[in-house]
Amino acid sequence: DQQVKQNSPSLSVQEGRISILNCDYTNSMFDYFLWYKKYPAEGPTFLISISSIKDKNEDGRFTVFLNKSAKHLSLHIVPSQPGDSAVYFCAASGNAGGTSYGKLTFGQGTILTVHP
Amino acid sequence: KAGVTQTPRYLIKTRGQQVTLSCSPISGHRSVSWYQQTPGQGLQFLFEYFSETQRNKGNFPGRFSGRQFSNSRSEMNVSTLELGDSALYLCASRYGTGSTEAFFGQGTRLTVV
pLDDT in tens, A31-74: 999 999 999 888 999 999 999 999 999 999 999 999 999 999 99
pLDDT of residue B97 exceeding 90, the answer is: no
- The pLDDT of residue B3: 93
Closest Cα to residue A15, out of A83, A63, A64, A66? A83
- Mutant choice from A59, A104, A106 vs B, greatest count of B C-beta within 10 A: A104
Among partner residues A36, A41, A102, which is closest to B50 by beta-carbon distance? A102
Distance from CA of B99 to the nearest CA of A (A): 6
**b/e for A76-109, b at 16 or more Cβ within 10 A?**
bbeebeeebbbbbbbbbbbbeeebbbbbbbbbbb
Contact at CB, B97 and A100, closer than 8 angstroms = yes
Residue A5 contacts residue A72 (beta carbons within 8 Å): no
What is the rounded CA–CA span in Å between residue B25 and residue B74? 8
Q: What is the mean pLDDT of residues B101-111?
A: 96
Chain B residues closer than 8 Å to A108 by CB = 42
Residue A82 contacts residue B78 (beta carbons within 8 Å): no
Q: Give B66-78 pLDDT, tens digit per residue.
A: 999 999 999 999 9
Chain B residues closer than 8 Å to A44 by CB = 43, 90, 104
Predicted confidence band of residue A96 (pLDDT cuts 50, 70, 90): confident
Chain B residues closer than 8 Å to A103 by CB = 33, 45, 48, 56, 58
Q: Give A15-30 pLDDT, tens digit per residue.
A: 999 999 999 999 999 9
Contact at CB, A41 and B35, closer than 8 angstroms = no
A30, exposed or middle or buried, with CB in 10 Å at 0-12, 13-18, 19+?
A: buried
- The pLDDT of residue A116: 94
What is the rounded CA–CA span in Å between residue B33 and residue B31? 7
Contact at CB, A99 and B56, closer than 8 angstroms = yes
Contact at CB, B99 and A100, closer than 8 angstroms = no
Distance from CA of A95 to the nearest CA of B (A): 8
> DSSP letters of B53-82?
EEEEE-S--TTEEEEE-TTS-EEEEE-S--
Q: What is the mean pLDDT of residues B93-102?
A: 89
State the greatest distance between any 2 C-alpha atoms of chain A, in Å, as a whole number. 46
- The pLDDT of residue B28: 94
Q: Which residues of B touch A (CB under 8 A)?
A: 4, 6, 31, 33, 35, 42-45, 48, 50, 55-56, 58, 88, 90, 92, 94, 97-107, 109
- The pLDDT of residue B1: 62
Predicted confidence band of residue B96 (pLDDT cuts 50, 70, 90): confident
Contact at CB, B107 and A46, closer than 8 angstroms = no
- The pLDDT of residue B112: 98
Q: Give B26-60 pLDDT, tens digit per residue.
A: 999 999 999 999 988 899 999 999 999 999 999 99
Closest Cα to residue B88, out of B13, B24, B3, B9? B9
